[in-house]
Amino acid sequence: MIKVSVYYPNEEDKNFNIDYYANTHMPLVRERLESFGLGRIEVEKGISDADPSAPPRFVAIGTLYFDTVDNVHEGFKTHGRELIGDVPNFTDITPQFLISEVVE
């Protein structure tokens, strides 16, 4: 299983609309990438750091699960420009990506 993690760092004076992300952007992601082997989607909202008095390192993390890495790349080649183009509708944070293989 291939996991695509999208991290949104908690940066000062930056905005993130979790409602738009969860209820508009991620359904768009599902619609565009399901035919490329997208299975499960997760949306996480950061609430704390390991130090309970510190803010979370990330305001949000989106996780997409695919069957193969080739499908990830084909899906994003086909729809990546549109999906990245939607980012300014919910944040001014530059997302960080990690594509990994789930080994256990």
Domains annotated on the chain, with CATH: 2-101 (3.30.70.100)
pTM, whole model, 2 decimals?
0.93
- Kindly give the confidence (pLDDT) of every residue in the chain, 104 residues in length, as a single tens digit, with 9 standing for 90 and above: 999 999 999 999 999 999 999 999 999 999 999 999 999 999 999 999 999 999 999 999 999 999 999 999 999 999 999 999 999 999 999 999 999 999 99
Backbone dihedral angles phi then psi of residue 20, each to the nearest 5 degrees: -65, -45
Q: Which amino acid is at 4?
A: V
